[in-house]
Amino acid sequence: MMNLYYIFSSLLFLSGVIVFVSNRKHLLSMLLSLEYMVLNLFFLLFLYLSFFDYSGFFSMMFLTFSVCEGALGLSILVSMIRTHGNDYFQSFNILQC
C-alpha cells in the first residue's frame, strides 16, 4: 500500500512539473504550480519519514520553509504588478533596472 502512495505522489509531482514548464506566461500560474509541487513533496516526505517514525520536527521545518517561499513569491508578484501593471513575462524586461 505504501508503494501505491509513493507512485501516486510522484505522479502528482511530475504533473506539477509539466504544468510549471508548459505554463510560462503568467507569474501567478507559475507560483501556483510551484506551491502544488511543494505540497506534493511534503506529502512524499511525510510518507517517507512516517515509515521511520520520525515525522514531527523535519516536517514542520519543511512547512516553514515552504510558507516562506510562498510569501516571497507573492511579494515578488505584488511588486511586479505595481511596477509593470500585469504579471506577463513578455512585458517584463530582465535587463532593465
pLDDT digits (tens, 9 = 90+) for 26-38: 788 888 898 999 9
Q: What is the pLDDT of residue 14?
A: 92
Q: What is the mean pLDDT of residues 18-27?
A: 83
The secondary structure of the chain, three-state, reads: CHHHHHHHHHHHHHHHHHHHHHCCCEHHHHHHHHHHHHHHHHHHHHHHHHHCCCCCHHHHHHHHHHHHHHHHHHHHHHHHHHHHCCCECCCCCCCCC
Domains of the chain in start order, with CATH, are 2-84 (1.10.287.3510)
Tell me the average pLDDT of the chain: 83
Q: What is the pLDDT of residues 49-73, one digit of tens each?
A: 888 887 678 888 888 999 999 999 8
Cα angle vertex 83, ends 81, 85, to 5°?
Answer: 45
Q: What is the pLDDT of residue 91?
A: 63
